[in-house]
A and B are shown apart, each in its own frame.
Chain A
């Protein structure tokens, strides 16, 4: 396991997907960073707990939080940053294995792989949604606090 190499490759892959999805030019590097953080957290969790569903949830959670912060910074929709970062977490290999087993008539193995792929994409989506909700709650509270400090509350 070579951490700097994986970081570099995931950065490059997410940036390349940014080009394919045509993200605004000045956010390409940030897209790469989002992808890198998501992949590294996914790998860390995967090596620690050996469960790709949990690891995907954690990775997507990280992607969503970083994407949210960058979206606040650039004042752009969050989807611009999260899309490229999610791609490395997508269960492409599980889906491929499921399909390969179907072709080879190993239907039971295929069902196992397919349900794992389904669980992983559900976990990715849940990670995204949970992080989004948490960030919304956090920012709402923060905005209220700033308003109170400046005497701007409307009571």
Chain B
């Protein structure tokens, strides 16, 4: 046991230390589940730890689990990250709570209670608002990628249907690859029907526009970015997730196109 370590133990009492660890891990888990970058999660946890007098703590964040070691002689804690999505409102809220904790505006107990509230509240927009947004995005991309104005209703409708199918299957089964496959498959079929019945003209642009809400562009970019920043474990696992999603979408479209 080092002298430095002894100092920490005396500075931070037993129950308070457990509460602090719970608080950091909860913050890390919420951020990781909401799609924050790995370096930001590690940075937030370390900053919170330093504000609670845990000076030489270490944490190791991966997309599927978070390890946090408060100091050399105390036990390391671990928490599992189960489902990952993108919910930036929660990232912002956890960030502001941690800022307040570091600045001394919140006590540890208050910060922990705030985190619990953030963890249990659903901040998402209504599913129909999200679907409308997906439809709008599809229609915009359709025009940006060179589609004609006469076909505008098709990407609007097909993009929305694809999005809502993926979301529904995801809430029912939690198997991402299956949801993406079925979503892309339905998009492909609807787009082909629209083109072969003569209502729409350009199949490629129609499919690309409608598929945009499902494309894992965010995951691909984040994966490459984390690899560049030196977070190889999270970079590779996010890259694998992105590859699987892209593969599922590609396979779904390919099944339709091959007929």
Which residues of chain A have a CB within 8 Å of any CB of chain B? 5-6, 9-10, 12-13, 15-17, 19-24, 39, 75-77, 79-80, 83, 86-88, 90, 92-93, 95-97, 99-100, 102-104, 121-122, 124-126, 128-129
Contact = CB atoms under 8 A, between A and B. Distances in A.
B124 interface: yes
B89 A23 contact: yes
Contact of A79 (B88, B129, B143, B253): B88
B124 A95 contact: no
Given A9-B143, A13-B137, A76-B92, A92 B125 contact: no
Contacts of B87: 21-22
Interface of B: 35-37, 40, 86-92, 95-96, 99, 123-125, 129-130, 133-134, 136-137, 140-141, 143-145, 163, 204, 207-208, 211-213, 215, 217-218, 220-221, 224-225, 228-229, 246, 250, 253-254, 257-258
B208 A87 contact: no
Nearest to B93: A24
A1 B186 CA distance: 32
A79 B40 contact: yes
The SS class assigned to the A binding surface is helix
Contact of A83 (B88, B124, B133, B140): B88
B221 A103 contact: no
Contact of B140 (A10, A24, A129): A10
B221 A86 contact: yes
B224 A80 contact: no
B218 A83 contact: yes
Nearest to A9: B140
B102 to A, nearest CB: 13
Contacts of B99: 75
B88 A24 contact: yes
Contact of A128 (B86, B92, B221): B221
The SS class assigned to the B binding surface is helix
16 contacts: A9-B143, A12-B140, A13-B137, A15-B133, A22-B86, A22-B123, A23-B89, A76-B95, A83-B88, A88-B144, A90-B220, A99-B250, A103-B257, A104-B257, A121-B221, A124-B221
B246 A95 contact: yes
A135 to B, nearest CB: 15
B91 A92 contact: no
The CB with the most chain B CB atoms within 10 A, among A22, A96, A125, is that of A22
Given A83-B218, A92-B212, A96-B207, A39 B144 contact: yes
Given A19-B133, A77-B36, A79-B40, A86 B140 contact: no
A25 to B, nearest CB: 8
B228 A126 contact: yes
Given A88-B141, A93-B145, A21 B224 contact: no
Pairs of residues from A and B, 7 with the lowest C-beta to C-beta distance, nearest first: A90-B217, A125-B224, A19-B133, A13-B140, A16-B137, A16-B133, A99-B250
A9 B134 CA distance: 13
Contacts of A99: 250, 253-254
A7 B159 CA distance: 21
B218 A87 contact: yes
B221 A80 contact: no
